[in-house]
Amino acid sequence: MPLENKFIEELRFESFRDLEEAEKILEANGYLEHVAWLCEQSYEKLVKSVYAYFKLKIQNGSVKSVYDKMYESQHYGSYKLIINMFREIFGSFRKSFDTKPAQIVASASENEKGIADGFMKFVKNANYSQLNKELEYKCKSIEEKISACLSSNNAFKDFINIATEQSLRKSLNDLNFEATVKETIDKLSTDPRFKASNPVFQGMLQQAIISGSEHTIKFFGFISYALVLARWILPHASMPRYPILEYNFDNLAPYREKSNELKPFFRLIIDEIKKLHPQAKEFFDELEYYKNVGMIDTTP
């Protein structure tokens, strides 16, 4: 097995292993700080496996440079490292489609030129730069929230108080990315600007709209979903590991004081990380797709 494949698979395997251990401890009514630490480690290693795939398989980077980057920041700065990995992936997208709209315009007859030009303008206006801006806003917001809850022991206690199953479910329910994209598909499918009398040309338009939107859902949907989990998981990168002097060695206390309330929260966290694993595999396919159509920067 090539070294880069081994690296990616080992990260995925360790993510599974940590999650299984977290589940065993939780079911055995063990210490919640151990569950928190293992959940964070599982999530972190899964994200690192995605980043490794992006850098090694899509951008042909070196294993050593990726390895060094992953371990350049530990404990306090690890949440910034993880969020910056997402930034690097979605920031690698070009500002608009390179090939598909141009192919449609080239295939248009004289009577269909107006429709093709309108479609081209629509694609240029509805490009990935807006999605990137939204994800950047989300990244910054999550960074600020995590930084705030780690600023003091009292702030961390406040975070633990709101770390409930209900709060996490609300965050996930508020994530409506897929519905927004599907709504766009429905609107485009009935938009009179993109109706052609030639059924072959009409089929090309429909296929471009639906295919592009489906890939968008899988790609940006995965990142959005993973970032929602980051807001609730990454604060546990350092706090559950050992007593910290800056927190007067009280950083472990909230896990024990709120043990009963936190159990449903971490049970849901474990379930959501489990769901993220197959989505990560699908995300690899999306990376390959966008690489093949020339829409992602392949420069390491």
In a domain, 119, yes or no: yes
What type of residue is 104? Answer: I
Q: Which residues of the chain are modeled with pLDDT < 50?
A: 95-98
For helices 113-125 and 100-107, give the axis angle rounded to 10 degrees. Answer: 170
In a domain, 124, yes or no: yes
What type of residue is 165? Answer: E
In a domain, 297, yes or no: no
**Cβ–Cβ < 8 Å for 257, 34:** no
3-state percent breakdown (helix, strand, coil) of the chain, nearest 5: 80, 0, 20
What is the end-to-end Cα distance of the chain in Å, rounded?
A: 22
Q: Report the chain's C-alpha Rg in angstroms.
A: 22
In a domain, 195, yes or no: yes
Among the listed residues 168, 174, 175, the one whose alpha carbon sits nearest the alpha carbon of residue 263:
168
In a domain, 25, yes or no: yes
Q: How far apart are CA 238 and CA 149, in angstroms?
A: 12
SS3 296: strand
In a domain, 146, yes or no: yes
Q: How high is the pLDDT of residue 182?
A: 66
In tens, the pLDDT along 200-257 reads 666 666 666 666 667 777 788 889 899 999 999 999 987 887 788 888 888 899 999 9
Q: How many domains is the chain built from?
A: 1
Q: Tell me the whole-structure pTM to 2 decimals.
A: 0.84
**Cβ–Cβ < 8 Å for 43, 233:** yes
Q: How high is the pLDDT of residue 96?
A: 42
In a domain, 167, yes or no: yes
In tens, the pLDDT along 73-90 reads 555 578 889 999 999 998
In a domain, 80, yes or no: yes
Q: Which helix (H) or strand (E) holds 80?
A: helix 78-90
**Cβ–Cβ < 8 Å for 142, 224:** no
Boundaries of domain holding 208:
3-292
Q: How high is the pLDDT of residue 59?
A: 93
